[in-house]
Amino acid sequence: MVEKLKKKIKEHFSNGPKAILIVVVILMTASIIFTNMRKTIIVSIDGKETQKITTFKKTYAEALTSKNIQVGPKDKVQPKLDTEIKDGSKLNIKKAVKVNVEVDGKKLAIQSAQDNIGNMLKEEGIKVKKLDRIVPSKEEKVKKGLNVTVTRVEEKLIKSKKDMDYETVVKDDDSLEKGDKKVVREGQSGEKEVTIKVVYEDGKEKVRKVVSESIKKQPVSKVVAMGTKITSVNALSRGGSVTGTPSGRSLRMRATAYTSSYEDTGKSPGSPGFGVTATGTTARRNPGGYSSIAVDPRVIPLGTKLFVEGYGYAIAEDTGGAIKGNVIDLYFDSDVEVSNWGSRWVNIYILD
Protein backbone atom coordinates (compact mmCIF):
# COMPACT_ATOMS: atom_id res chain seq x y z
CA MET A 1 0.00 0.00 0.00
CA VAL A 2 2.78 2.39 0.98
CA GLU A 3 4.70 1.50 -2.15
CA LYS A 4 1.69 2.23 -4.28
CA LEU A 5 1.30 5.64 -2.57
CA LYS A 6 4.98 6.41 -3.27
CA LYS A 7 4.55 5.39 -6.85
CA LYS A 8 1.53 7.66 -7.22
CA ILE A 9 3.41 10.60 -5.70
CA LYS A 10 6.35 10.06 -8.09
CA GLU A 11 3.96 9.92 -10.97
CA HIS A 12 2.34 13.20 -9.86
CA PHE A 13 5.67 14.85 -9.22
CA SER A 14 6.79 13.75 -12.68
CA ASN A 15 3.90 15.76 -14.04
CA GLY A 16 5.47 19.00 -12.84
CA PRO A 17 4.00 22.00 -10.93
CA LYS A 18 0.48 20.72 -11.03
CA ALA A 19 1.41 17.64 -9.04
CA ILE A 20 3.29 19.69 -6.46
CA LEU A 21 0.25 21.88 -5.86
CA ILE A 22 -1.99 18.88 -5.22
CA VAL A 23 0.40 17.44 -2.64
CA VAL A 24 0.59 20.76 -0.80
CA VAL A 25 -3.20 20.99 -0.62
CA ILE A 26 -3.44 17.46 0.77
CA LEU A 27 -0.85 18.14 3.45
CA MET A 28 -2.52 21.40 4.51
CA THR A 29 -5.92 19.74 4.74
CA ALA A 30 -4.52 16.93 6.86
CA SER A 31 -2.84 19.46 9.15
CA ILE A 32 -6.06 21.42 9.61
CA ILE A 33 -8.03 18.27 10.43
CA PHE A 34 -5.40 17.16 12.94
CA THR A 35 -5.35 20.56 14.60
CA ASN A 36 -9.13 20.68 14.93
CA MET A 37 -9.27 17.21 16.47
CA ARG A 38 -6.67 17.98 19.15
CA LYS A 39 -8.07 19.93 22.12
CA THR A 40 -6.55 21.20 25.36
CA ILE A 41 -8.62 21.43 28.55
CA ILE A 42 -7.83 22.54 32.10
CA VAL A 43 -9.04 20.25 34.88
CA SER A 44 -9.74 21.89 38.28
CA ILE A 45 -10.46 19.72 41.35
CA ASP A 46 -11.93 21.39 44.46
CA GLY A 47 -11.02 24.82 43.13
CA LYS A 48 -7.37 23.99 42.45
CA GLU A 49 -5.97 23.84 38.91
CA THR A 50 -4.66 20.31 38.64
CA GLN A 51 -3.45 19.73 35.10
CA LYS A 52 -3.81 20.51 31.44
CA ILE A 53 -4.97 17.69 29.20
CA THR A 54 -4.44 17.49 25.47
CA THR A 55 -6.82 15.02 23.93
CA PHE A 56 -8.46 13.90 20.74
CA LYS A 57 -11.50 12.58 22.68
CA LYS A 58 -14.96 13.94 21.97
CA THR A 59 -16.42 14.28 25.53
CA TYR A 60 -15.04 15.19 28.93
CA ALA A 61 -15.85 11.72 30.25
CA GLU A 62 -13.72 10.12 27.54
CA ALA A 63 -10.89 12.56 28.14
CA LEU A 64 -10.83 11.91 31.92
CA THR A 65 -10.93 8.15 31.42
CA SER A 66 -7.99 8.31 29.04
CA LYS A 67 -5.97 10.07 31.76
CA ASN A 68 -7.21 7.77 34.60
CA ILE A 69 -8.91 10.64 36.42
CA GLN A 70 -11.79 9.09 38.39
CA VAL A 71 -15.08 10.85 39.11
CA GLY A 72 -17.31 9.47 41.91
CA PRO A 73 -21.10 9.11 41.58
CA LYS A 74 -21.69 12.00 44.02
CA ASP A 75 -18.93 14.27 42.68
CA LYS A 76 -20.13 17.53 41.18
CA VAL A 77 -18.87 18.16 37.62
CA GLN A 78 -19.33 21.30 35.51
CA PRO A 79 -19.84 21.11 32.53
CA LYS A 80 -21.51 17.70 32.48
CA LEU A 81 -19.33 14.75 31.59
CA ASP A 82 -21.25 13.96 28.41
CA THR A 83 -20.68 17.48 27.08
CA GLU A 84 -18.61 17.79 23.87
CA ILE A 85 -15.18 19.24 24.57
CA LYS A 86 -14.29 22.76 23.45
CA ASP A 87 -10.65 23.63 23.04
CA GLY A 88 -9.33 25.73 25.92
CA SER A 89 -12.31 25.01 28.16
CA LYS A 90 -12.14 24.39 31.90
CA LEU A 91 -13.64 21.38 33.68
CA ASN A 92 -14.47 21.89 37.38
CA ILE A 93 -14.75 18.85 39.64
CA LYS A 94 -15.89 19.13 43.25
CA LYS A 95 -15.21 15.90 45.12
CA ALA A 96 -17.90 14.53 47.44
CA VAL A 97 -17.01 14.29 51.15
CA LYS A 98 -18.41 12.12 53.92
CA VAL A 99 -21.02 13.75 56.18
CA ASN A 100 -22.73 12.09 59.17
CA VAL A 101 -26.47 12.80 59.44
CA GLU A 102 -28.74 11.81 62.35
CA VAL A 103 -32.44 11.99 61.48
CA ASP A 104 -35.66 10.11 62.33
CA GLY A 105 -33.81 7.82 64.73
CA LYS A 106 -31.24 6.79 62.09
CA LYS A 107 -27.54 7.54 61.65
CA LEU A 108 -26.59 7.99 58.00
CA ALA A 109 -23.17 8.30 56.33
CA ILE A 110 -23.66 10.49 53.25
CA GLN A 111 -21.30 11.38 50.41
CA SER A 112 -22.05 14.88 49.15
CA ALA A 113 -20.51 17.60 47.01
CA GLN A 114 -23.28 20.12 47.66
CA ASP A 115 -22.40 23.65 48.76
CA ASN A 116 -24.46 23.69 51.98
CA ILE A 117 -26.38 21.41 54.33
CA GLY A 118 -29.79 22.46 53.02
CA ASN A 119 -28.96 21.44 49.45
CA MET A 120 -27.35 18.22 50.67
CA LEU A 121 -30.50 17.17 52.56
CA LYS A 122 -32.65 18.03 49.55
CA GLU A 123 -30.43 15.96 47.26
CA GLU A 124 -30.70 12.99 49.65
CA GLY A 125 -34.50 13.23 49.74
CA ILE A 126 -34.57 14.17 53.44
CA LYS A 127 -37.58 16.46 53.76
CA VAL A 128 -37.34 19.27 56.29
CA LYS A 129 -40.48 20.99 57.58
CA LYS A 130 -40.72 24.61 58.69
CA LEU A 131 -40.47 23.88 62.43
CA ASP A 132 -37.75 21.22 62.19
CA ARG A 133 -34.42 22.17 63.72
CA ILE A 134 -31.15 21.56 61.85
CA VAL A 135 -27.79 21.74 63.62
CA PRO A 136 -25.63 23.20 62.14
CA SER A 137 -27.94 25.47 60.15
CA LYS A 138 -29.00 24.82 56.54
CA GLU A 139 -26.64 27.58 55.35
CA GLU A 140 -23.57 25.90 56.87
CA LYS A 141 -21.03 24.75 54.26
CA VAL A 142 -20.57 21.03 53.72
CA LYS A 143 -17.15 19.76 54.79
CA LYS A 144 -15.51 16.43 55.45
CA GLY A 145 -16.51 14.75 58.73
CA LEU A 146 -19.33 17.21 59.48
CA ASN A 147 -21.98 15.94 61.94
CA VAL A 148 -25.54 17.07 61.17
CA THR A 149 -28.60 16.55 63.39
CA VAL A 150 -32.18 16.99 62.17
CA THR A 151 -34.74 17.24 64.99
CA ARG A 152 -38.38 16.84 64.06
CA VAL A 153 -40.41 19.58 65.78
CA GLU A 154 -44.21 19.52 65.96
CA GLU A 155 -46.67 21.83 67.71
CA LYS A 156 -50.20 20.93 68.78
CA LEU A 157 -52.94 23.09 70.29
CA ILE A 158 -55.04 21.40 72.97
CA LYS A 159 -58.26 22.97 74.20
CA SER A 160 -59.85 22.07 77.54
CA LYS A 161 -62.58 23.45 79.79
CA LYS A 162 -61.93 24.38 83.41
CA ASP A 163 -64.13 25.55 86.26
CA MET A 164 -63.72 29.06 87.61
CA ASP A 165 -64.11 29.48 91.37
CA TYR A 166 -66.69 31.95 92.55
CA GLU A 167 -66.07 34.63 95.16
CA THR A 168 -67.89 34.92 98.48
CA VAL A 169 -69.19 38.40 99.21
CA VAL A 170 -70.09 39.23 102.81
CA LYS A 171 -72.54 42.08 103.39
CA ASP A 172 -73.57 43.65 106.69
CA ASP A 173 -77.22 43.15 107.60
CA ASP A 174 -78.67 45.11 110.54
CA SER A 175 -81.79 42.94 110.57
CA LEU A 176 -79.72 39.96 111.79
CA GLU A 177 -78.25 39.62 115.25
CA LYS A 178 -74.53 40.37 115.45
CA GLY A 179 -72.59 37.18 114.68
CA ASP A 180 -75.48 35.59 112.78
CA LYS A 181 -75.05 34.94 109.10
CA LYS A 182 -77.37 33.93 106.30
CA VAL A 183 -76.73 32.81 102.73
CA VAL A 184 -78.57 35.27 100.49
CA ARG A 185 -77.44 33.71 97.22
CA GLU A 186 -75.54 30.52 96.51
CA GLY A 187 -72.45 30.84 94.36
CA GLN A 188 -72.08 29.21 90.96
CA SER A 189 -68.80 28.18 89.35
CA GLY A 190 -67.93 29.71 85.99
CA GLU A 191 -66.29 28.01 83.03
CA LYS A 192 -63.37 28.95 80.81
CA GLU A 193 -61.74 27.41 77.76
CA VAL A 194 -57.97 27.08 78.00
CA THR A 195 -55.79 26.64 74.91
CA ILE A 196 -52.44 24.97 75.54
CA LYS A 197 -49.59 24.71 73.04
CA VAL A 198 -47.59 21.49 73.32
CA VAL A 199 -44.22 21.23 71.57
CA TYR A 200 -42.88 17.80 70.63
CA GLU A 201 -39.30 17.02 69.58
CA ASP A 202 -38.81 13.71 67.80
CA GLY A 203 -42.17 12.59 69.17
CA LYS A 204 -41.43 13.47 72.82
CA GLU A 205 -43.15 16.30 74.67
CA LYS A 206 -40.75 19.12 75.53
CA VAL A 207 -42.80 22.24 76.28
CA ARG A 208 -46.37 22.85 77.41
CA LYS A 209 -47.69 26.36 77.99
CA VAL A 210 -51.01 28.22 78.07
CA VAL A 211 -51.40 30.49 75.04
CA SER A 212 -54.96 31.77 75.57
CA GLU A 213 -57.98 31.67 77.87
CA SER A 214 -61.55 32.60 77.07
CA ILE A 215 -64.44 32.80 79.54
CA LYS A 216 -67.46 30.79 78.45
CA LYS A 217 -69.52 31.33 81.61
CA GLN A 218 -68.97 33.99 84.26
CA PRO A 219 -69.00 32.76 87.89
CA VAL A 220 -71.78 33.98 90.17
CA SER A 221 -70.65 35.29 93.56
CA LYS A 222 -71.98 33.77 96.75
CA VAL A 223 -73.62 36.43 98.90
CA VAL A 224 -73.67 36.04 102.68
CA ALA A 225 -75.45 38.45 105.03
CA MET A 226 -73.60 39.04 108.31
CA GLY A 227 -75.65 40.31 111.22
CA THR A 228 -74.75 43.60 112.88
CA LYS A 229 -77.79 44.05 115.16
CA ILE A 230 -76.96 44.15 118.86
CA THR A 231 -79.72 43.24 121.29
CA SER A 232 -79.25 43.73 124.99
CA VAL A 233 -80.44 40.75 127.01
CA ASN A 234 -80.70 41.08 130.76
CA ALA A 235 -80.04 38.06 132.92
CA LEU A 236 -83.19 36.75 134.56
CA SER A 237 -83.47 35.72 138.16
CA ARG A 238 -84.34 32.06 138.66
CA GLY A 239 -87.93 32.85 139.37
CA GLY A 240 -88.41 35.57 136.77
CA SER A 241 -89.99 35.38 133.36
CA VAL A 242 -89.64 36.88 129.85
CA THR A 243 -92.57 37.62 127.62
CA GLY A 244 -92.82 34.86 125.03
CA THR A 245 -90.03 32.73 126.60
CA PRO A 246 -89.85 30.33 129.53
CA SER A 247 -88.52 31.57 132.84
CA GLY A 248 -84.87 30.91 133.81
CA ARG A 249 -81.24 32.09 133.47
CA SER A 250 -80.24 33.39 130.00
CA LEU A 251 -76.97 33.11 128.06
CA ARG A 252 -75.72 34.59 124.80
CA MET A 253 -74.11 31.85 122.70
CA ARG A 254 -73.10 31.03 119.14
CA ALA A 255 -75.26 28.26 117.71
CA THR A 256 -74.08 25.98 114.89
CA ALA A 257 -75.95 23.00 113.44
CA TYR A 258 -75.31 19.31 112.65
CA THR A 259 -76.93 16.04 111.51
CA SER A 260 -76.11 12.38 112.13
CA SER A 261 -74.24 12.24 108.79
CA TYR A 262 -70.74 10.86 108.44
CA GLU A 263 -69.43 14.34 107.61
CA ASP A 264 -70.67 15.67 110.97
CA THR A 265 -70.19 12.67 113.30
CA GLY A 266 -67.65 10.43 111.56
CA LYS A 267 -70.09 7.51 111.69
CA SER A 268 -72.09 5.86 108.91
CA PRO A 269 -75.55 4.26 109.05
CA GLY A 270 -75.19 0.77 110.48
CA SER A 271 -72.05 1.63 112.41
CA PRO A 272 -72.12 1.15 116.20
CA GLY A 273 -73.16 4.38 117.88
CA PHE A 274 -74.56 5.96 114.71
CA GLY A 275 -77.11 8.63 115.67
CA VAL A 276 -76.49 8.09 119.41
CA THR A 277 -75.64 11.05 121.65
CA ALA A 278 -73.00 11.24 124.37
CA THR A 279 -75.69 10.48 126.97
CA GLY A 280 -76.84 7.36 125.09
CA THR A 281 -80.06 8.80 123.68
CA THR A 282 -80.97 8.90 119.99
CA ALA A 283 -80.34 12.31 118.48
CA ARG A 284 -83.68 13.84 117.46
CA ARG A 285 -85.32 16.98 116.18
CA ASN A 286 -88.72 17.45 117.79
CA PRO A 287 -90.21 20.91 117.06
CA GLY A 288 -93.18 20.08 119.27
CA GLY A 289 -91.08 18.81 122.17
CA TYR A 290 -87.45 18.65 123.22
CA SER A 291 -84.69 18.34 120.59
CA SER A 292 -81.10 17.20 121.10
CA ILE A 293 -78.24 19.68 121.20
CA ALA A 294 -74.50 19.40 121.88
CA VAL A 295 -72.86 21.56 124.55
CA ASP A 296 -69.63 22.09 126.43
CA PRO A 297 -70.44 20.31 129.74
CA ARG A 298 -68.18 22.75 131.58
CA VAL A 299 -70.58 25.56 130.62
CA ILE A 300 -73.92 23.75 130.42
CA PRO A 301 -74.18 20.40 132.25
CA LEU A 302 -75.49 17.40 130.27
CA GLY A 303 -79.17 16.81 130.88
CA THR A 304 -79.96 20.54 131.19
CA LYS A 305 -83.21 21.64 129.59
CA LEU A 306 -83.11 24.87 127.60
CA PHE A 307 -85.03 27.12 125.28
CA VAL A 308 -83.11 28.32 122.18
CA GLU A 309 -84.35 31.36 120.24
CA GLY A 310 -85.35 30.35 116.72
CA TYR A 311 -84.98 26.63 117.51
CA GLY A 312 -87.23 25.79 120.43
CA TYR A 313 -86.99 23.53 123.47
CA ALA A 314 -83.90 21.36 123.79
CA ILE A 315 -81.97 19.07 126.11
CA ALA A 316 -78.17 19.10 126.42
CA GLU A 317 -77.53 15.45 125.46
CA ASP A 318 -74.45 15.52 123.25
CA THR A 319 -70.88 16.85 123.05
CA GLY A 320 -68.40 17.53 120.25
CA GLY A 321 -64.73 18.27 119.69
CA ALA A 322 -65.47 21.72 118.27
CA ILE A 323 -68.07 22.59 120.92
CA LYS A 324 -66.06 24.63 123.39
CA GLY A 325 -67.02 27.56 125.62
CA ASN A 326 -70.01 29.64 124.52
CA VAL A 327 -70.85 27.42 121.54
CA ILE A 328 -73.77 25.01 121.15
CA ASP A 329 -74.56 22.64 118.24
CA LEU A 330 -78.21 22.16 117.30
CA TYR A 331 -79.40 18.84 115.84
CA PHE A 332 -81.38 18.82 112.57
CA ASP A 333 -82.69 15.98 110.43
CA SER A 334 -81.35 17.24 107.07
CA ASP A 335 -78.41 19.05 105.48
CA VAL A 336 -80.82 21.61 104.01
CA GLU A 337 -81.95 22.64 107.51
CA VAL A 338 -78.31 22.79 108.63
CA SER A 339 -77.43 25.03 105.69
CA ASN A 340 -80.40 27.30 106.32
CA TRP A 341 -79.48 27.70 109.97
CA GLY A 342 -75.79 28.33 109.31
CA SER A 343 -74.07 29.86 112.33
CA ARG A 344 -75.64 32.59 114.42
CA TRP A 345 -75.66 34.18 117.84
CA VAL A 346 -78.76 33.42 119.89
CA ASN A 347 -80.16 33.86 123.35
CA ILE A 348 -80.73 30.64 125.28
CA TYR A 349 -82.67 30.21 128.50
CA ILE A 350 -81.93 27.64 131.16
CA LEU A 351 -85.23 26.10 132.28
CA ASP A 352 -86.10 25.24 135.86
Residue 82: is its pLDDT beyond 50? Answer: yes
C-alpha span between 222 and 219 (Å, rounded): 9
Q: According to the per-residue pLDDT averaged within each range, which of 34-48, 131-145, 179-193 is highest?
A: 131-145
The domain boundary, picked from 134, 151, 168, lies at: 151
Cα–Cα separations (whole angstroms), residue 213 to 193, 197, 250: 6, 12, 57
Mean pLDDT over residues 7-23, rounded?
56
Domain coverage including residue 105: 97-151
Same domain as 28, residue 118:
no
Same domain as 279, residue 344:
yes
Number of domains in the chain: 5
Mean pLDDT over residues 24-34, rounded?
47
Rounded (5°) CA angle 159-165-168: 165
Same domain as 160, residue 271:
no
Say whether 341 sits in a helix, a strand or coil.
helix
Give the model confidence (pLDDT) of 104-120 as tens digits.
999 999 999 999 999 99
Same domain as 54, residue 18:
no
Say whether 81 sits in a helix, a strand or coil.
coil
| CATH number of the CATH domain containing 218 | 2.20.230.10
C-alpha span between 67 and 55 (Å, rounded): 9
